[in-house]
Amino acid sequence: MVALAEAQGRLPVRAREPAGDGALPDPVRARLKEVLDGWSQVLRQAIVDARTAQQFRADIDPEQIAFELHGLYLGHHFFHWYQKDRMAEHRTMKAFERLVAACR
């Protein structure tokens, strides 16, 4: 279920929590956070490495680029799986290429 956000400055929609209290058991939540934090660190390090190797500009912000890459991933997931958009992969790769080009 999707509900409208009530306050200005928030995303216009939000997903409803799963049935029950919506909370994952603490050990599952902790492990999920560990995996996602690890993946985020690997991604940021790859961006720093590309900057150090002068494949990316010296002034790029690895945190911002990692944020945008995560957004591409989530956008692809939504449009591919939920919207069944046959162009999702093409659009994601186009956005990825645009982001990489902006980093050079």
Domain boundaries, the chain: 27-103
H/E element, 61: none
CA atoms of 72 and 33, how far apart (whole Å)? 20
Picking from 69, 77, 70, the residue whose alpha carbon sits closest to that of residue 97 is 69
H/E element, 2: strand 2-4
The reported pTM is: 0.71
Instruction: Kindly report the backbone phi and psi dihedral angles of residue 28, in degrees, each rounded to the nearest multiple of 5, phi listed first.
Output: -70, -45
Residues belonging to the chain: 104
Q: Which tens digits make up the pLDDT trace of 2-15? A: 444 444 555 555 55
Enumerate residue ranges in the chain where pLDDT < 70. 1-22
